[in-house]
Amino acid sequence: MSGGLKMANQTAKHVREYGGILAVPEKKVLIWLAERMPARVNSDHLTIIGLVSMFAAGGCFWLARWNRYALFAVVAALALNWFGDSLDGTLARVRNRQRVRYGYYVDHVIDLAGTAALLAGMALSGFMTPLIAAALLSAYVIVAAETFLATHVRQVFQLSRFGFGPTELRIVLSVGALRLFITPWAHLGGSRFLLFDIGGIVAIAGLLAAFLFSAVFNTCRLYKEEPLS
């Protein structure tokens, strides 16, 4: 076996850690859904649903610039994204039809593309300053890159940080989208700001904090695990 393939296999054989607030009930719901999914539906179908729905969410944010009723479609698209993106892997595990390296690679490529599409739609919507949307995407990519590196060297893939994972973030974003239907503005310290600008800055700070915490933690742990003789 070549060195590159050996390293790829090691990365694929990782343990998934999901410490999100909703992790326990979500897992039960996903298994329940997977056990009742029609045989003609497979994981690839669900993956496509997850990707298309995230692009739809970004597109609906953009359309909401002219018609705020599109924000309700954003919520529906995020719910559909949860269904496809969260259930595809569970379905594969329940049916024992896993393709570990393929699933790992495709899932995260789609996550990156979908997040970029979502934030592009938010930047074009007028509800978030484009510069903040770009900074948020950059922060997300930094965290994703560190997570991929940590998965490779420690064989542990963390799906959440500080109790927040993809599901919790979808819920927060959905609540924010519904709030936008009423008003896109928020008052802070006597001044008026775009609600999603405030949310974006908070998210950037959270992502950077998660990056620093994980980078320091993993560096210290690896330093202890690989002492110089």
CATH number at residue 159: 1.20.120.1760
Residue 91 in any domain: the answer is yes
Residue 106 in any domain: the answer is yes
Residue 163 in any domain: the answer is yes
Query: What is the rounded CA–CA span in Å between residue 37 and residue 49?
Result: 14
Residue 194 in any domain: the answer is yes
Q: Is the dihedral of CA 185, 186, 190, 192 positive or negative?
A: negative
CA distances from residue 97 to 7, 15, 43, 82 in whole angstroms, order as listed: 22, 17, 9, 21
Torsion angle of the four alpha carbons 56, 69, 67, 129, in this order, in degrees rounded to the nearest 10: -60
Q: Give me the number of domains the chain comprises.
A: 1
Residue 3 in any domain: the answer is no
Confidence of residue 13 (pLDDT cuts 50, 70, 90): low
Number of H helices, E strands in the chain: 8, 4
Instruction: Answer yes or no: is pLDDT of 46 > 80.
Output: yes
Instruction: Answer yes or no: is pLDDT of 9 > 90.
Output: no
Its domain, for residue 162, covers 11-225
Instruction: Answer yes or no: is pLDDT of 8 > 50.
Output: no
Residue 2 in any domain: the answer is no
Q: What is the pLDDT of residue 1?
A: 40
Cα 119 to the center of its chain, rounded Å: 12
Residue 149 in any domain: the answer is yes
Tell me the HSE value of 192 on the side-chain side, using a 13 A CA sphere.
3
Residue 4 in any domain: the answer is no
Q: What is the pLDDT of residue 4?
A: 46
Query: What is the rounded CA–CA span in Å between residue 200 and residue 172?
Result: 12
Torsion angle of the four alpha carbons 126, 51, 161, 140, in this order, in degrees rounded to the nearest 10: -50
For the chain, the average pLDDT equals 92
pLDDT, tens digit (0-9, with 9 covering 90-100), for 72-89: 999 999 999 999 999 999
Instruction: Answer yes or no: is pLDDT of 178 > 80.
Output: yes
